[in-house]
Amino acid sequence: MAKTHRPSPLEMMNDLSLREIVWRALQEDIGTGDVSASLIPDNIEAKAHIVSKSKGVIAGLILVKLTFKILDERISFIPELQDGQRVEKGDIIASVEGQARSILMGERVALNFLQRLSGIATKTATFVEAVKGYPVRIVDTRKTTPNLRLLEKYAVRVGGGYNHRFGLYDAVMIKDNHIVALGSISEAVRKAREAIPHTMKVEVEVTNLEQVREALRARADIIMLDNMSPEDMKEAVQIIDREALVEASGNITLDNIRKIAQTGVDVISSGAITHSAGILDMSLDFEEKNDDKSYNL
Amino acid sequence: MAKTHRPSPLEMMNDLSLREIVWRALQEDIGTGDVSASLIPDNIEAKAHIVSKSKGVIAGLILVKLTFKILDERISFIPELQDGQRVEKGDIIASVEGQARSILMGERVALNFLQRLSGIATKTATFVEAVKGYPVRIVDTRKTTPNLRLLEKYAVRVGGGYNHRFGLYDAVMIKDNHIVALGSISEAVRKAREAIPHTMKVEVEVTNLEQVREALRARADIIMLDNMSPEDMKEAVQIIDREALVEASGNITLDNIRKIAQTGVDVISSGAITHSAGILDMSLDFEEKNDDKSYNL
Amino acid sequence: MAKTHRPSPLEMMNDLSLREIVWRALQEDIGTGDVSASLIPDNIEAKAHIVSKSKGVIAGLILVKLTFKILDERISFIPELQDGQRVEKGDIIASVEGQARSILMGERVALNFLQRLSGIATKTATFVEAVKGYPVRIVDTRKTTPNLRLLEKYAVRVGGGYNHRFGLYDAVMIKDNHIVALGSISEAVRKAREAIPHTMKVEVEVTNLEQVREALRARADIIMLDNMSPEDMKEAVQIIDREALVEASGNITLDNIRKIAQTGVDVISSGAITHSAGILDMSLDFEEKNDDKSYNL
Amino acid sequence: MAKTHRPSPLEMMNDLSLREIVWRALQEDIGTGDVSASLIPDNIEAKAHIVSKSKGVIAGLILVKLTFKILDERISFIPELQDGQRVEKGDIIASVEGQARSILMGERVALNFLQRLSGIATKTATFVEAVKGYPVRIVDTRKTTPNLRLLEKYAVRVGGGYNHRFGLYDAVMIKDNHIVALGSISEAVRKAREAIPHTMKVEVEVTNLEQVREALRARADIIMLDNMSPEDMKEAVQIIDREALVEASGNITLDNIRKIAQTGVDVISSGAITHSAGILDMSLDFEEKNDDKSYNL
Amino acid sequence: MAKTHRPSPLEMMNDLSLREIVWRALQEDIGTGDVSASLIPDNIEAKAHIVSKSKGVIAGLILVKLTFKILDERISFIPELQDGQRVEKGDIIASVEGQARSILMGERVALNFLQRLSGIATKTATFVEAVKGYPVRIVDTRKTTPNLRLLEKYAVRVGGGYNHRFGLYDAVMIKDNHIVALGSISEAVRKAREAIPHTMKVEVEVTNLEQVREALRARADIIMLDNMSPEDMKEAVQIIDREALVEASGNITLDNIRKIAQTGVDVISSGAITHSAGILDMSLDFEEKNDDKSYNL
Amino acid sequence: MAKTHRPSPLEMMNDLSLREIVWRALQEDIGTGDVSASLIPDNIEAKAHIVSKSKGVIAGLILVKLTFKILDERISFIPELQDGQRVEKGDIIASVEGQARSILMGERVALNFLQRLSGIATKTATFVEAVKGYPVRIVDTRKTTPNLRLLEKYAVRVGGGYNHRFGLYDAVMIKDNHIVALGSISEAVRKAREAIPHTMKVEVEVTNLEQVREALRARADIIMLDNMSPEDMKEAVQIIDREALVEASGNITLDNIRKIAQTGVDVISSGAITHSAGILDMSLDFEEKNDDKSYNL
């Protein structure tokens, strides 16, 4: 994937929490100790390569590095690629070198992170590719794996997508239930504005054109068209006429996404790019020893 | 899915850690506060139903209950089904009743857990179904989501599968790297036996029949046939002749799984049932109010 | 303070983190055990009242309740007032009843929370009062006590103020350093828009009218006038002409705040309402026993 | 402030907990990531100075260092002063040098710590100054910010004050409620001695001279004169005649503190030096670049 | 053991930390789930008794209760005795009733706590018994199990002993290294007094009578006679003449303790009562079912 | 102790959790700060030796290293021996060199760990010695100190023993209660096999020869002879005839252990090697200074 001119997506991550997530994952796998790796004498060094077993976009190398460094700070981590780059089957993504025992101990955790995030980046890239040429953003949702949201939203950015709000706390989303409870779209928006910081936006979810007009009158910052037909979306875009951002949502697939992009919406949000991405398959291959000096595993 | 005679799979979970996982997930989503739900007056009560949007096996209801109870202990959680039961599109899985605000606040976290685990149970059930009639177990691997392994392995049991080891700590797995480092399969097994508790088993991963024979001579408890052809697997089963458990592994798909079961192996392990299960899609639907007394959302 | 029609500010707090903060504070004070309270026999019951020692606005009663409930769930907590209400010297704010030992053990922690938050609410209310009649918000900043931001921002809302962003993560703030690094205001805004979620706003800090015009052209959502004179602020408001929100910042005091409000800015942000609020002084007074039956402490 | 001959107050702090407090504070501010700092390319280096905006005593430089080191270990932290030294408006307190992005990210947290602690040290120094020439200690109370007590008590020491007990666990304090519950001062002291380690002291709070005599007879280690008149304090000091330490407490202000010191008490305790100290105002100023090689921010 | 008139020792414990310690211990034992207890159907109820297998003093029942309550709040915990009471072999200490599965799951953790603490209380009681008639305290040291100090010091109190300082933070202990570093005992005491809160005591460790005199002149609060002969201890007591508390320390055994008590020291400290107490052996015995209605395990 | 050919037992420990355990232990001891060590100027360096005060086997040096490194990373830790080696009274085990203050601060925690673990290794070695010549393993139980199991089981390995299961999660243990609840030994084993991973073993506890035969027929992996006479054990071994591992358990002492080994059992499990090991006594001795240049403490 050609790297975009956007600031490196890595920079938006909170590095401070990554160590904690990786540490937990290592604890989960190692528990009271790796009974297999402990059999290997501690003077055996090895070098191993993370190799892609299919085609896709890489995301999450920092987690591979952290996994091995937390386990054993003497391990060298050598990235051969960077997050955001495309791989073909057989490409070496990164290498690690150090005590064979430590490499074996971290292998599964490192791959579990990298495969999952690369899977999300890859799926996102497919969606982004599908709308090429249209000025529309592919964004994620809150349908992420519990306790991995920060990582999965990062993978979406790596894949060329953008993020929607990070949680319930950083933007208002007014849905039908809020509207029923508060009386009307305009009343809901008014109450939201009165309660929230002036630094925060209000998004309204609508299902028909009448609601589009009401949300527009209520001066919503973003209007989300939920499960509307492409025809209605097109009309909604015309009604809104740049007075609010327009987001399309609901059952977005590779089949219909280009059609939706053509309606002129600003943003298309998809849960599938995170919750149904699958993994990008990889393996950790140990280098063969070919002399009696170096890697003897 | 007809419930098996196995002890309820729920009982093997460590309930103590569940609250912590759910608590974290709620913190991740709510952060400094739910700016949308806070708009709804606290005297508005509601009832809502979790409805399946496709066909599958339910797993993880305890997490839905915990999500809402941790948020607001006055919420009633009414399961309409139990983990392990099959649903069709439109079936009500569970209901929640209480402050509308609390229900809205917990909705996403609850569904994120339930959809993911039900997706795994559903995929597992498909694999289990595919080998029906053969005395073989479908088991998981360590290819699980970091920090959710306990839950995902539970979902595999709910779907009719079985668990492989839980981590690096509860069984020895001797792979090619261990064999190279330790000299031979028999030396590796011997060293493992000498180091580990007598309560622990030793599994050896082999790739050809010669290694099968060696592992058998070394008295491995379990012999894993890695990426071998069905024909070789069949022969391996005959060679081993019940002296060790036989596990088939590597690129197991719905297409080839029955063929593998026919080889007579005891266990088939699959990473895909956890890492590529996708979700079972669901929604939380609020009940319409039909009089002016009760649920007014 | 007359309660506004805004949603109760309490509802925007993340209740899940409060227990943890209070638990820590209790641990900090109690350590290995309260060597004084432990002298009191456990059959001695008492009733005590939290009494204001000066005039102000109450904020943080939930923390008082949590402090005592976490220590001893049998303690009754009886709020006599609600957050946001004004008190005069001598007013009873809340009462607690239960084991004398538990009340003594929680006294200091409960008061430390309540006094601090009420101090912030009181100071905020003074600022809000000072701009009465003008359509301007008093908002807080990130100049809060480390690890108590959520609580202090809550107290600002209780005092009639509003919140600015909660941290570095929920809105972009472009300051002079960003502008230097990125070339120009317009380039900085453009890069920000390209990187952040469409649900997020961009604020630009400016120090003169030329920058005001540039920020406006760059379509900033919010323009912060930093340490500008009231005259320049007035002109800035006219230039901006409702195309962006206008925030005044820098050395806001009770003396100059009304003058600033008169310039027509939408928002006035003040660090002093959190970092220099002082406390609202209170005491916990035990009820005298007047017969030999009831409270014998 | 001339450094006293006391052991460096820093040494009494438990360094192990500082990292945790700073880490939490960074998490609180950065959350899911600094969306503004992330815009700045990672090859931009900068140097910035922490400059005092008013007159006072510096406390808490270790926290500034930790803030930046935890964020980015490559940042150089150069203290220009040490804790306990006085500053005038415009003085440079410390400098930091490294990635501009990291400096911007840590700025607010670092200043929030340093300003608050320096505020406490400054206020304490004023009180200490006011009693100059009298052999009396100014000590703090437990009226500290929840979860920052260790730091605030450190700042008191830096300002020339001393600490009272750290919590409910390290000394007995017998107040009126204990006396009522246990029958008399002497009975309360006796019961305390019987229960506590022989390494721990017993302090009794009294409000009149009769109680002073009773506490003395009960052999209290410390007698606290609560809200007594200077005349009564003087008499109490004579009655006690060095048989116990004498502590004055209650409404200590800059106006009355010297008068109280003149009574001959050993210790004057003040809640105001922690709970109402306000901050010592500072700013982080980036160095201008004056050539095209070095700091280009 | 006849209960003393001291305040119940339980009250000096910080209950807040107990739940955390027990929770961790349960996690340590249960890990990913109790694979044996999970076999037992959840409708099987049982009643079981904790029975002493030898003679001693009970300590730690609260931990037994917490263990079972944290696992399963429906379990009834029925203490038959209270901490501090003596048991003979065969005595029932407490009973639990509820799901058989939960009882089996908590059994080991509950016993591990109770046996260890009762072992310490028992050993302490033996030491206390041995000095009966002398006005001397048996106290513990900091030679406790890492991370269980609070519990072990509690058990010492239950056994009739007293506590020494809880850690490095709540009293000064000047040993030879401090004296060498600071020049002399008197200089060390002077520096300590100058640095520490007035609420804290200073103890000096001495090894000969000359040092006793020096420590006395330096006005130490407590003088610890380290490994001195009974004759020297006696003389030291006379020299000190109630001007400081006198503590005997070093190789205290049941054989020599009475002789040491006779020297007139106030306090005898022993590491052995915690670090070498061994356990008080117990078992959890399930009640036989004698009809087909009730407990069917 | 001659080092065995087993893989270094250290390698089976999960190093990741050690830092956390040591950190907690330091916090427990240091609390708000070491008031004694803080008196020592920070320019005083020292060297000190950990010296054994009796005869035994060393275990836990890594914890000593971690204790000092966590406190002060500039401290040099110089092990003079390795875990598993025997010491006589007076032997130097390890040395530390650095700031005197830091060494004093970490002394107690370091020794508390090392003494306890060495005590366990020493006791285990005695048991191992006692069965010398017999092909039998001495193994531990779950009767370990709460929250230190990992360390104590490590010490058992260091002493020449082996580990039993680590918790309730890594092997099935069927006891009388399970048998009663499930109907029979064979039914219990069958249900266990059906529920657990194929990687896990099933152990059955029996008390007589009839049960031995039943457990054998049920194909248990391990049969534990609980409190049986040596004669019955011998017969059981013959009955079982290598078809299952045979474990002897119950009241194992130095007196009877050799007799039990002679019965031909494979494994002897003992709770006493962990719960009643006592400590191996040691001291930290500071080096005398013998010139005016080097260590001046």
Distance CA E212, CA E203 (A): 12
Query: How close, in Å, is residue C235 to chain B by CA atoms?
Result: 34
C-alpha C103/C-alpha D178 separation (Å) is 12
CB contact under 8 Å between A38 and F150, yes or no, is no
Q: What is the pLDDT of residue C3?
A: 38
pLDDT over 90 percentage in chain B: 86
CB contact under 8 A, A195 and C7: yes
Which stretches within F131-251 are classed as H helix? Answer: 149-158, 176-182, 185-195, 209-217, 230-240
Q: How far is CA C120 from CA C23, C163, D49, in A?
A: 22, 13, 30
Q: Which of these is catalytic: F53, F69, F86, F108?
A: F108
Name the pLDDT band for D11 (thresholds 50, 70, 90): low
Query: Where does the pLDDT of residue B224 fall: very low under 50, low under 70, confident under 90, or very high at 90 and above?
Result: very high
Of E32, E71, E101, the CB nearest to B150: E32
- Catalytic residue flag (residue C175): yes
The pLDDT, as a whole number, for residue A7 is 45
Give the model confidence (pLDDT) of C112-144 as tens digits.
999 999 999 999 999 999 999 999 999 999 999
Q: To the nearest whole angstrom, how far is the Cα of E171 from the nearest Cα of chain D?
A: 6
Supply A37's token pair.
């790796």
* β-bridge mates for residue F51, sequence order: F92, F283
Report the pLDDT value the prediction gives residue B15, as an integer from 0 to 100.
74
Per-residue pLDDT of F125-184, as tens digits, reads 999 999 999 999 999 999 999 999 999 999 999 999 999 999 999 999 999 989 988 899
Cα–Cα dist B31/F150, whole Å: 35
Which chains border C (3 or more CB–CB pairs < 8 Å)?
A, B, D, E
Nearest by CB to residue C199, choosing from A7, A12, A203, is A203
The pLDDT of E124-135, averaged and rounded, is 98
What residues of F are in the D interface, CB distance below 8 Å? 23, 26-27, 30-35, 37-42, 70-71, 101
Segment C90-105 mean pLDDT:
96
Report whether A221 contacts A245 (CB < 8 A): yes
* The pLDDT value given to residue C9: 56
Q: Of all residues in chain F, what percent carry a pLDDT higher than 70?
A: 92
B9-128+281-286: which CATH number, 3.40.190.10, 3.90.1300.10, 3.40.50.2300, 3.90.1170.20?
Answer: 3.90.1170.20
Beta strand D86-87 with D56-57 is antiparallel
Comparing alpha-carbon positions, the chain D residue that sits nearest to A152 is: D32
pLDDT of residue E2: 36
**Is the Cβ pair B11, E31 closer than 8 Å?**
no
Q: How confident is the model at residue F9 (pLDDT cuts 50, 70, 90)?
A: low
Q: F206-237: per-residue pLDDT in tens? A: 999 999 999 999 999 999 999 999 999 999 99
Q: Return the closest-CA partner of residue E14 out of E59, E62, E58, E57.
A: E62
Q: Which chains have 3 or more CB–CB distances shorter than 8 Å to chain F?
A: A, B, D, E
Q: How many C-alpha atoms does F216 have within 13 Å on its Cβ side? A: 18
Cβ <8 Å between F245 and B164? no
Query: Using the beta-carbon criterion (under 8 Å), do A30 and B167 form an inter-chain contact?
Result: yes
Tokens read off for B280: 């079972």
| Residue B104 neighbours by CB under 8 Å, 6+ apart | A177, A178, B34, B36, B37, B40
Predicted local distance difference test score (pLDDT) of residue B9: 54
Cβ separation F191–B12 shorter than 8 A? no
- Confidence band for D2, pLDDT divided at 50, 70 and 90: very low
Whether E190 is catalytic = no
Amino acid E1: pLDDT = 33
Residue C205 annotated as catalytic: yes
Q: Which is the catalytic residue, given B97, B152, B226, B266?
A: B226
- E282 has a pLDDT exceeding 60: yes
Longest dimension (CA), chain E: 79
Structure tokens at B98: 């209480």
Low-confidence ranges of chain A (pLDDT < 70): 1-13, 288-297
CATH 3.90.1170.20 spans which residues of chain A? Answer: 9-128+281-286
- State chain E's mean pLDDT as an integer: 92
Contact between residue E297 and residue E289 where contact means Cβ atoms under 8 Å apart: yes
Model confidence at D120: pLDDT above 80 = yes
* Backbone conformation region of residue E250, classed left if phi is above 0, alpha if psi is from -120 to 50, else beta: left
Q: What is the pLDDT of residue C180?
A: 87
Please judge whether D147 and C28 are an interchain contact, meaning their C-beta atoms are less than 8 angstroms apart: yes
Q: Choosing from E91, E205, E214, E266, which is the catalytic residue?
A: E205
Residue E10, min C-alpha distance to chain B (Å): 26
Which range (B86-90, D284-288, E92-96, F153-157) has the least confidence? D284-288
Kind of pairing between the strands at C76-79 and B245-249? unpaired
pLDDT of residue D42: 84
Instruction: Identify whether the C-beta of residue E84 lies closer than 8 Å to the C-beta of residue E57.
Output: yes
Read off the pLDDT of residues A50-105 as tens digits, 9 standing for 90 and up.
Answer: 999 999 999 999 999 999 999 999 999 999 999 999 999 999 999 999 999 999 99
Report pLDDT for A287. Answer: 87
Give yes or no for residue C199 having a pLDDT over 70: yes
In the predicted structure, residue C73 carries a pLDDT above the cut 80: yes
Instruction: Specify whether the CB–CB gap between C79 and C65 falls below 8 A.
Output: yes
Residues A97, A103, A106: CA angle, nearest 5 degrees:
135
Helices assigned H by DSSP within C82-184: 100-130, 149-158, 176-182
Catalytic residue among A140, A152, A205, A247: A205
Decide: residue B90, CB within 10 A, 0-12 exposed, 13-18 middle, 19+ buried. Answer: exposed
Residue A103 φ/ψ, nearest 5 degrees: -65, -45
| Chain F residues touching E166 at Cβ < 8 A | 31
The whole-angstrom separation of Cα E224 and Cα E204 is 6
CB D72 within 8 Å of CB D102? yes
Q: What is chain F's mean pLDDT, rounded?
A: 92
Residue from the list B105, B169, B276 with its beta carbon closest to the beta carbon of A279 = B276
Candidates A30, A32, A39; nearest CB to F7? A39
Indicate the pLDDT class of residue F251, thresholds 50, 70 and 90.
confident
Q: Could you give the residue range(s) of every CATH 3.20.20.70 domain in chain C?
A: 131-275
| Percent of all residues in chain E with a pLDDT value above 70, rounded to a whole number | 92
pLDDT band at D246 (very low <50, low <70, confident <90, very high): very high
Q: Which residue has the tokens 């020291």?
A: E265
Interface B–C counts its CB contacts (< 8 A) at: 34
**pLDDT score recorded for residue D25:** 96
User: What is the set of active-site residues of D?
Assistant: 108, 143, 175, 205, 226
pLDDT digits over B50-81, tens only?
999 999 999 999 999 999 999 999 999 999 99
**pLDDT at res. C223:** 98
- The string of pLDDT tens digits covering residues F77-120 is 999 999 999 999 999 999 999 999 999 999 999 999 999 999 99
Closest to C181 measured CA to CA, from D71, D45, D50, D283: D45
Residue E131 has pLDDT above 80, yes or no: yes
Look at D16 and F101 and tell me if their CB atoms are within 8 Å: no
Closest CA to C271 of C114, C97, C152, C159: C152
Prediction ipTM score = 0.93
Taking CA–CA distances from A251, the nearest residue in chain B reads: B281
CB contact under 8 Å between B11 and E70, yes or no, is no
Given a cut of 90, whether residue D4 has pLDDT beyond it is no
Beta-carbon contacts of E17 under 8 Å, excluding residues fewer than 6 positions away, are C27, E150
Going by the DSSP 8-state scheme, the letter that residue A186 receives in this structure is H
Residue F198 to residue B164, Cβ atoms within 8 A: yes
Q: Which chains touch B (3 or more CB pairs under 8 A)?
A: A, C, E, F
* Mean pLDDT for chain B overall: 92
Enumerate neighbours of E (3 or more CB pairs within 8 A): B, C, D, F
Low-confidence winner among A260-274, C242-256, E5-19 (lowest mean pLDDT): E5-19
CB C162 within 8 A of CB C139: yes
Judge whether B205 counts as a catalytic residue. yes
What integer pLDDT is reported at residue E262 of this predicted model? 98
Q: With the C-alpha atoms ordered D28, D31, D35, D40, is the resulting torsion angle positive or negative?
A: positive
Instruction: With a cut of 50, say whether residue C291 has pLDDT above it.
Output: no
Catalytic pick among E175, E191, E201, E258: E175
Q: Contact at 8 Å (CB) between E167 and F30?
A: yes
Predicted pLDDT of residue D9: 56
The band of E293, judged by pLDDT with boundaries at 50, 70 and 90, is very low
Select the CATH number that applies to the domain covering E131-275 from these four: 2.60.40.1250, 1.20.140.10, 3.30.1330.60, 3.20.20.70: 3.20.20.70
pLDDT at residue E9 above 90? no
Residues of chain C found within 8 Å of residue A137, distances taken between Cβ atoms? 198
Q: Rounded distance, CA F128 to CA C138, Å? A: 75
The pLDDT score that the predictor gives to residue B5 is 38
